[in-house]
Amino acid sequence: MSRIKFIAGNWKENLTLAEAKALIADLSPLVAGISNVEIAVCPTFLALTTVGGKVAGTNIQLGAQNAHAVEVDGKLVQSGAYTGEVSPAMVKDAGAQWVILGHSERRQYFGETDESVNVKIRACYEVALKPIVCVGETLEERESGTTAKVIEKQVRTCFKGLPADKVAESVVAYEPVWAIGTGKTATPEMAQEVHGLIRALLAEMFGPETANAVRIQYGGSMKPGNAKELLAQPDIDGGLIGGAALKAADFSEIIKAAV
């Protein structure tokens, strides 16, 4: 089964509106005409509609970096007294097709858990917003030999009880925490080992057909120089790109490595 590669840029807390518009103006001609790779950029909430306007009619899709939802008395809540938060319904309304959930920075600095990510994924499914669900081990976990255990817990809990047809359209991003923004990249073999494990877990939970449909991105210091060999691995279906997504030349090179 062939999966269309998917390269998404995670802009994090970067770029003013003017800078965001300039980046899209630089990027869109560099990737115009590429039809066999899906491309997305994920700006801050504040830049979603502006960037959405700039990418309209191009082959660049729009994503957010987070969304908020809670379950109250067994019901998903997508609005109300949650100061400072933005729901999947609002992200969708702003024109996004994608949302990054459970990024390690959100887990580390903002108390996000596998359980809260599971609720958020369900809220996304409710409004047909597709999640990019991040998992990954810390350096300490890798060095103590618990990577497989950590990833298994994350995948099983984040995807617990979800419908297989929606899971099939979702994306998982494997982002070893020690590789994010550090310049250290997992070797293609190291990454493939975990990607294979994630797909095997999804197969066990949802059946092989669903598992084969899910795109699994690699994230963590992916750049033009290492993208090709990572993307050549059988279970690496794209990339979630941080630093290198802020430069049109670098991001477009990574996209071209996926063609």
Q: Is residue 10 close enough to count as binding ligand PGA by CB under 6 A?
A: yes
Is 175 among the catalytic positions?
yes
Q: Which stretch binds ligand PGA (CB under 6 A): 48-56, 150-158, 196-204, 239-247?
A: 239-247
Q: Is residue 227 close enough to count as binding ligand PGA by CB under 6 A?
A: no
Q: Is residue 241 close enough to count as binding ligand PGA by CB under 6 A?
A: yes
Measured in Å, how far apart are the chain's first and last C-alpha atoms?
17
Q: Which single residue is written with the structure tokens 């994924």? A: 121
Tell the smallest beta-carbon distance from residue 243 to ligand PGA (Å): 4
Query: Residue 43, SS3?
Result: coil
Q: What is the CA radius of gyration of the chain?
A: 17
Q: Which stretch binds ligand PGA (CB under 6 A): 71-79, 137-145, 151-159, 214-222?
A: 214-222
Rounded Cα distance between 248 and 31, Å, is 9
Q: Is residue 181 close enough to count as binding ligand PGA by CB under 6 A?
A: yes
Q: Are the beta carbons of 120 and 89 closer than 8 angstroms?
A: no
Q: Which stretch binds ligand PGA (CB under 6 A): 46-54, 63-71, 197-205, 217-225?
A: 217-225
Polymer length of the chain: 259
**Which residue's CB is nearer to ligand PGA, number 13 or number 189?**
13
Q: What angle do CA 253, 257, 259 make, to 5 degrees?
A: 115
Q: Are the beta carbons of 95 and 129 closer than 8 angstroms?
A: no
- Residue of the chain from 243, 248, 250, 258 that contacts ligand PGA (CB under 6 A): 243
- Residue of the chain from 86, 129, 167, 180 that contacts ligand PGA (CB under 6 A): 180
* Residues taking part in catalysis: 103, 175
